[in-house]
Amino acid sequence: MPSSKKINILVIHPHCVMSDMISFLLESEFNSQVMSCQSKDNAYQLLSNTHFDLVVSSSQMSDGTGEEIFQTMVDCEKILPFILIDKNGRKISPYKNNSIIAAIPEEKTISDLNTIFSKMLSVDTSSKPDEWTEISLAPLVHMSALPEDIFIQLVSGRKLKIFQAGDTITTDDVKRYSRKQVEKLFLKRSAFCWLIKQIDNAVPEILKNPEGVIYIESSPQIAVKEDELPSFAAIPIQEEFMKQLHEKSKEVIAQMKKNKDLVKLLKSFNVNRAQNAFFKSRIDLVCMISCAVSRELGWMSDAMYEKLIYVSYVHDLTLIENPHLAKLQNAAQLSSQPSLTKDEQNLFLQHPILVANIITKDTRAPAEAALIVRQHHEKPNGQGFPDKLTHTRIMPTSAVLQISIDLAQYILSNPGWTMEAYFADSGQQFRGGPFTKISRSLEKIFKSKH
């Protein structure tokens, strides 16, 4: 967030559930404070005696329309950014030279508001990767079940679980925690992203049945059980690998901190392209590139180096016996390989989840490592997997890992590689949110050496 000051938003919507879902998104994701009302008259009252920075209104209330509210505000010279949720998202003509900033179709209420607010507030997710999202409990009463555990934060800063995945939140729960003056709770970032996606999917159903329950599926993170790991996941190799990693991690961190010149380092690095050396070569390259990019971005703490080195080592752990799968970077490359069996395809598509599950059991894993790895095949344009996140949801450290893997793979696949050719080939695939800044940092490292 660019500022810690909360944005005051008025949401005018005739349906309570939809209104609560909009408030849930805006308050949790965009540092805002939302007041809501269900009618035109109530909106006029609130607008006359409360300060708002922005209005989000449905086009149709029982006593009038969103356009009428906008026009009355213009007549009263109360000019605020105004977003209209319209049945069809039709184009609205300006009124007395004032325009509604966006008219969004009601079926896309959640996804479009998310996109508009991300752009409008220039949300910079590259400043700090968040593991937790602060939420209110009340909107969750409309949901069939929690997708994952919910926590409160103790005075010590430690998080304590108070509800678990599958629980249903009731109005009594909300009252109970309100009496204890617990207003804010915490959901893991990945679970929050999953929940928003589920709410977005549920919008057509909410519109059909405005007072109904929103059906929420368990997040895939908890849906994948250990006994569902593919049989050829080579667990003993993973354990040995993790042991070695922890034994030598300090040594690797020291080496990476010492290596200040990535260009020189890559030139002198003896790339072993033999099939049996694939993982070692790629891990070494990913470590070098990710740590150099991190330094260029100004992320130079030991904790950050440790995190990047750890995820460089483990991100494809369950593919260790299948290097042909580890070379694939996206679902399109997967579908271009018709010879792959169904098991191989599943192993590839599930590996970010499977490895994240292994990491959660590693008590020495750096903070956020599981989430970074879970997101390492998510793409800025939302075409990645397993959660189809867009650039606003992908952690910056995961973007660093992903770009580093891409360059490392390029170096291994192209013996005559050059950075110019790489930048030309990689094109615009890493653009949006933290990806833009990280790609530019990589280009800067190379350009400064020419």
Do 163 and 169 meet the contact criterion of CB atoms below 8 Å apart? Answer: yes
- The stretch near Fe ion (CB under 5 A) out of 22-30, 225-233, 313-321, 334-342 is 313-321
Which amino acid belongs to residue 7?
I
Cα dihedral 379, 260, 279, 426 sign: positive
Strand partners, 65: 60
Instruction: State the minimum distance, in angstroms, from the CB of residue 326 to Fe ion.
Output: 6
Rounded least distance, CB 315 to Fe ion, Å = 5
The closest alpha carbon to 437, from 388, 390, 403, 408, belongs to 403
Query: Binding segment for Fe ion among 5-13, 47-55, 310-318, 418-426 (CB under 5 A)?
Result: 310-318
Query: How far is Cα 209 from Cα 18, in angstroms, rounded to an integer?
Result: 10
Interacting stretch for Fe ion, rule CB under 5 A, among 8-16, 40-48, 134-142, 308-316? Answer: 308-316
Least distance in angstroms from the C-beta of 266 to Fe ion: 21
The answer to whether 286 and 329 are in contact (CB under 8 A) is no
- As given in the structure block, the two tokens for residue 176 are 């109970």
Residue of minimal Cβ distance to Fe ion: 316
Our measurement of the distance from residue 402's CA atom to the centroid of its chain's CA atoms, rounded to an integer in Å, reads 14
Task: Work out how close the CB of 189 gets to Fe ion at its nearest, in angstroms, rounded to a whole number.
Answer: 20
- Minimum distance, C-beta of residue 286 to Fe ion, in the bound complex (Å): 11
Choose between 198 and 357: whose C-beta lies nearer to Fe ion.
357
Question: Beta partners for 86?
Answer: 105
Which residue number, 193 or 286, has a Cβ lying nearer to Fe ion?
286
In this structure, the number of other CB atoms found within 10 A of the CB of residue 128 comes to: 11
Structure tokens belonging to residue 396: 């910056």
Q: Which is nearer to Fe ion, 332 or 424 (CB)?
A: 332
For Fe ion, the closer CB: 99 or 413: 413
For Fe ion, the closer CB: 316 or 368:
316
One-letter amino acid at 22 equals I
Angle at 139 between CA 134 and CA 140, to 5 degrees: 85
- Give the residue, chosen from 316, 344, 378, 406, that forms a contact with Fe ion under the rule CB under 5 A: 316
Least Å from the CB of residue 251 to Fe ion: 25
Which window, 8-16, 59-67, 250-258, 311-319, contacts Fe ion (CB under 5 A)?
311-319
Nearest distance in Å: CB 331, Fe ion: 12
Question: Should residue 378 be labelled a site residue for Fe ion when binding is judged by CB under 5 A?
Answer: no
Least separation in angstroms between residue 340's CB and Fe ion is 15
Among residues 100 and 285, whose Cβ is nearest to Fe ion?
A: 285
Residue among 149 and 316 whose Cβ is closer to Fe ion: 316
d(CA 348, CA 358): 15
137 token code pair: 């409990």
Beta strand 60-61 pairing with 64-65: antiparallel
Nearer to Fe ion, 218 or 381 (CB): 381
Q: Quick one: 32 or 318, whose CB is closer to Fe ion?
A: 318
We find the least distance from the C-beta atom of residue 328 to Fe ion, in angstroms, to be 8
Sign of CA dihedral 26, 387, 160, 131: negative
- Smallest gap, in angstroms, from Cβ of residue 351 to Fe ion? 6
Q: Tell me, by CB under 5 A, how many residues bind Fe ion.
A: 1
Residue span binding Fe ion (CB under 5 A) among the ranges 103-111, 314-322, 339-347, 440-448 = 314-322
Q: Amino acid identity of 55?
A: V
CB 291 within 8 A of CB 256: yes
Q: Tell me whether residue 102 or residue 369 sits nearer to Fe ion (CB atom).
A: 369
What is the rounded distance in angstroms from the CA atom of residue 352 to the CA atom of residue 168? 28
For Fe ion, the closer of residues 202 and 314 by Cβ is: 314
Listed ranges 7-15, 34-42, 315-323, 363-371: which one lies at the site for Fe ion (CB under 5 A): 315-323
Nearest residue to 445 via CA among 262, 207, 285, 184: 262
Smallest distance from Fe ion to CB 399, Å: 14
Q: Which stretch binds Fe ion (CB under 5 A): 122-130, 206-214, 309-317, 433-441?
A: 309-317
Phi, psi values for residue 137, rounded to 5°: -80, -35
Q: Percent helix, strand and coil across the chain, each rounded to 5? A: 50, 10, 35
Q: Which of 127, 131, 190 is nearest to 159 (CA)?
A: 131
Contact residues toward Fe ion (CB under 5 A) are 316
